[in-house]
Structure 1
Amino acid sequence: MALDVYGMNVTARSGPNGQAPRCDHLDLLPSVERGAPECQQCLASGLAWTRLLVCLTCGWVACSDDSPGSHAREHYRETDHPVVAALESETTWRWCYIHGKAV
C-alpha cells in the first residue's frame, strides 16, 4: 500500500490506470439545468468573454479565468460551489476549484 504525506492510502484514492485521484466533489453534484449561454456580469459590464463555464452545483453560467472578468471563479468564491465544466457540449473538461485541477 502506498501512502501520501498525510498517511492516506494513495492506491484507494487513485483513478483507473494510475490516473490522478478522483475528485470527491463530483459525487456530490446534483443534476442541474444550465443557464443561458452568456455571462450576465460581462454583459452588464460591457466586457467580452473568452470561454463560458457552467457551475455543476447550480447551473450558473459565467466567463472563465482567461476572460477579463473571471466571473466563474468569482461565483466559486461567493458560493463555494466547487466544480465547473466547459459550456461547449463537445467537451468533457471539468475543473475543481478546491483541488485546483481538471477532474
Structure 2
Amino acid sequence: MSDQFIDPTAKPSGPGCADCEATGSWWFHLRRCAECGHIGCCDDSLHRHARAHAAETGHLVIQSYEPGEDWFWNFGTDELFAGPTLAEPTEHPGDQTAPGPQDRLPADWQDQLRAR
C-alpha cells in the first residue's frame, strides 16, 4: 500500500531539486518525496534525482511538484494514484521556470535532453 510511504506533515526540502542545486545543474520538472519532502528532478531531467533518491532511501512515492499537478507515483509498483494533501507548499514558486532555474538553463537544453 502506498500510504506507508507518505508522511503528509513532511515539508519540502526547498523550491528546487536539492541535488541539482548542490551541483549547480538544472532540471526539467520537479518531484517531491511523499515520505520525507526531498525535492528531486523528474525522469525526463538529465540526472533523474527523484528516482535516485527513491533507490537510495527506499522512499518509493513521489508527488509532482509542478503548479497545478497533484498526482502521486509509486516507483515500486509503477502506478499513478491520487493521494492525500501534503504540507505546504505543494508546488515550486510560480515565478520559477520549468525547466529551470532560468539562470542556469543552457541554450541547448532541449538537445541535451534528447541526447541522453
- TM-score w.r.t. the length of structure 1 is 0.70
- After TM superposition, list the pairs within 5 Å mapping 1:36-51 onto structure 2: 36-51=14-29
For 2:3, the aligned partner's letter is L
| RMSD of aligned Cα (Å) | 1.5
Return the alpha-carbon distance in structure 2 between the equivalents of residues 85 and 39 of structure 1: 13
The answer to whether structure 1 residue 26 and structure 2 residue 8 are counterparts is: no
Check conservation: 1:37, 1:52, Cα contact below 8 A: no
- After TM superposition, list the pairs within 5 Å mapping 1:1-103 onto structure 2: 24-26=1-3, 28-31=5-8, 32-103=10-81
For 1:70, the aligned partner's letter is R
- TM-score w.r.t. the length of structure 2 is 0.63
Q: Percent identity?
A: 31
Return the alpha-carbon distance in structure 2 between the equivalents of residues 45 and 94 of structure 1: 27
Deviations 1:10-38 (A, max 9, x none): xxxxxxxxxxxxxx112552221112111
Return the alpha-carbon distance in structure 2 between the equivalents of residues 47 and 79 of structure 1: 22
Return the alpha-carbon distance in structure 2 between the equivalents of residues 68 and 58 of structure 1: 23
Gaps of 5+ in 1: 1-23
Check conservation: 2:5, 2:60, Cα contact below 8 A: no
Q: How many residues align?
A: 80
Structure exhibiting the larger radius of gyration computed from Cα positions: 1
